[in-house]
Amino acid sequence: MSPVNPIDIDFTALMALESHGPDVYVGISPDYPWGRVYGGQVVAQGLRAAAATVDDDRHVHSLHAYFIRGGTSSEPIRYEVDRIRNGRSFTTRRVVARQSDGAILNLSCSFQVVEDQVDVQESTAPENMGSAEDRAMEDWGLLGHRRVIQEPGHSASWLRILGDLGDDRVLHECALAFLSDDLPSNASVSSHPRIVDMGMDREERHQSFMGASLDHSIWFHRHAPADQWQLHDFRSHGLTGGRGLSSGEVFSEDGIHVASVAQEFLFRELTR
């Protein structure tokens, strides 16, 4: 299989998994410039595979993923879904993503029926972030940026999927999962003393350190379109043992608290 450039594929096509037998799905990957499959893509495709085995009246409320090894864009990714439980209110699934070298991701996710219960929002979007339209646009094909803050221990940006996702709620939830892997590592590693003291840019950082996402969790609170701007705001909880932990919140442009995210990131200084 010849890898495709991220600018040559849209998100809907990326989530169009092929069925390869009962509860088995196969997806492709663009050829990302950093050389490995983007972790957010594997989480999003894994969620898409799980959702294909769940009744339409149930929506994902949480997922927890472990990144096992880096994936390659030169071959498809196989998603094997395990139907853990179908309950009256909740449905639980486990998904293992595999390539020829073995498993690359282990994901568990839970879906819930819509319940008519009280809705109280305690979290509010930071007031100093401005609006998406105040910022210059950046993108790398599938994902659009309007950067707000990058400082030691804090990373925030307006993000959205480029292109129209229509009204498929599962597709928007997968898109949020895709977006949610973009900023957490920046918050974690930006407070490393060498990076702060030397003022390293991204290229210098890549030459001096190696990094990889270890695990990733999302709690989906409310629905908001992921092809419209959403504010992702992450703060680091520190670095220890070669690992950094960051957590953050996702808000829509009108201030709806859409999701909460946490990620642990491996960050090692290279020895020469």
- The pLDDT mean for the chain works out to 90
Q: What is the mean pLDDT of residues 161-190?
A: 93
CB 5 within 8 A of CB 31: yes
3-state SS of the chain is CCCECHHHCCHHHHCCCEECCCCEEEECCECCCCCCCCHHHHHHHHHHHHHCCCCCCEEEEEEEEEECCCCCCCCCEEEEEEEEEECCCEEEEEEEEEECCEEEEEEEEEEEECCCCCCCCCCCCCHHHCCHHHCCCEECCCEEEEEEEEECCEEEEEEEECCCCCCCHHHHHHHHHHHCCCCHHHHHHCCCHHHHHHCCCHHHHHHHEEEEEEEEEEEECCCCCCCCCEEEEEEEEEEECCEEEEEEEEEECCCCEEEEEEEEEEEEECCC
Please check whether residue 193 lies inside any domain of the structure.
yes
Q: Give the pLDDT confidence score for residue 138 in this predicted structure.
A: 82
Please check whether residue 124 lies inside any domain of the structure.
no
User: Percentage of residues in the chain with pLDDT exceeding 70?
Assistant: 92
Q: Give the pLDDT confidence score for residue 256 in this predicted structure.
A: 97
How many C-beta neighbours within 10 Å does residue 138 have?
11
With tokens 């210098």, the residue in question is: 204
pLDDT band at 121, cuts 50/70/90?
Answer: very high
pLDDT band at 194, cuts 50/70/90?
Answer: confident
The number of domains in the chain is: 1
| Domain extent for 105 | 6-114+136-269
With tokens 């282990």, the residue in question is: 106
Return the CA Rg of the chain. 18
How many C-beta neighbours within 10 Å does residue 217 have?
16
Please check whether residue 245 lies inside any domain of the structure.
yes
Rounded to whole angstroms, how far apart are CA atoms 211 and 214?
9
Q: What is the pLDDT of residues 27-45, one digit of tens each?
A: 999 888 777 899 999 999 9
1 pLDDT higher than 60: no
Q: What is the mean pLDDT of residues 185-212?
A: 73
110 pLDDT higher than 80: yes
Rounded to whole angstroms, how far apart are CA atoms 138 and 231?
15
Please check whether residue 130 lies inside any domain of the structure.
no
Please check whether residue 120 lies inside any domain of the structure.
no
6 pLDDT higher than 60: no
Q: Give the pLDDT confidence score for residue 19 in this predicted structure.
A: 96
Q: Give the pLDDT confidence score for residue 204 in this predicted structure.
A: 66
Q: What is the mean pLDDT of residues 258-268?
A: 94
Instruction: Measure the CA angle with vertex 268, ends 262 and 272; round to 5°.
Output: 165
247 pLDDT higher than 80: yes
Please check whether residue 12 lies inside any domain of the structure.
yes
pLDDT band at 139, cuts 50/70/90?
Answer: confident
Q: What is the mean pLDDT of residues 115-120?
A: 96
Please check whether residue 179 lies inside any domain of the structure.
yes
Q: Which two tokens stand for residue 104?
A: 């690359």
Q: Give the pLDDT confidence score for residue 165 in this predicted structure.
A: 95
Q: What is the mean pLDDT of residues 164-187?
A: 95
Query: Which residue would you say has higher pLDDT here, 21 or 143?
Result: 21
Rounded to whole angstroms, how far apart are CA atoms 24 and 98?
11
User: Percentage of residues in the chain with pLDDT exceeding 90?
Assistant: 69
Q: Give the pLDDT confidence score for residue 89 in this predicted structure.
A: 97
Taking the chain, what is the end-to-end CA distance rounded to the nearest angstrom? 36
Please check whether residue 177 lies inside any domain of the structure.
yes
Rounded to whole angstroms, how far apart are CA atoms 66 and 99?
15
Query: Which residue would you say has higher pLDDT here, 163 or 61?
Result: 61
Q: Where residue 81 sits, what CATH number does that domain have?
A: 2.40.160.210
Q: Give the pLDDT confidence score for residue 60 in this predicted structure.
A: 98
CB 111 within 8 A of CB 87: no
pLDDT band at 7, cuts 50/70/90?
Answer: low
Q: Give the pLDDT confidence score for residue 205 in this predicted structure.
A: 65
227 pLDDT higher than 80: yes
CB 9 within 8 A of CB 142: yes
